[in-house]
Amino acid sequence: MDYEAIHAYIEGNRGVRGIDMAFGRLLVEQAGVADNPKASQLFKLAWNYGHSEGHWEVLEYFEQMLPLIQ
């Protein structure tokens, strides 16, 4: 994954509330699973588990669960 792009996104969007689908698309694209029909569900799970702690926690959950759909 391009952590520099992800870091720039997170730093540029501090304070944004609600489900951030652009962040999800970025993670899915960077992970190389954009063509996987389960990718959006994976992001939703990662978001549900981690969003209360911020984007970095969502990234952590996303990466931990990514092998499930690869």
Q: Average pLDDT, stretch 39-54?
A: 93
Question: Is the per-residue pLDDT at 17 higher than 60?
Answer: no
- Domain of residue 49: give its range: 3-68
Counted domains in the chain: 1
User: What is the pLDDT confidence band of residue 28, given thresholds at 50, 70 and 90?
Assistant: very high
Q: What is the DSSP letter of 18?
A: S
46 by Cβ neighbours in 10 Å (0-12 / 13-18 / 19+) ranks as buried
User: What is the pLDDT confidence band of residue 54, given thresholds at 50, 70 and 90?
Assistant: confident
N- to C-terminal Cα separation, the chain: 14
Q: Give exposure, 9-41, as e/b (b: 16+ Cβ within 10 Å).
A: bbeeeeeeeeebeebbebbbebbebeeeeebee
Q: Average pLDDT, stretch 60-69?
A: 97
Q: What is the structure's pLDDT at 16?
A: 58
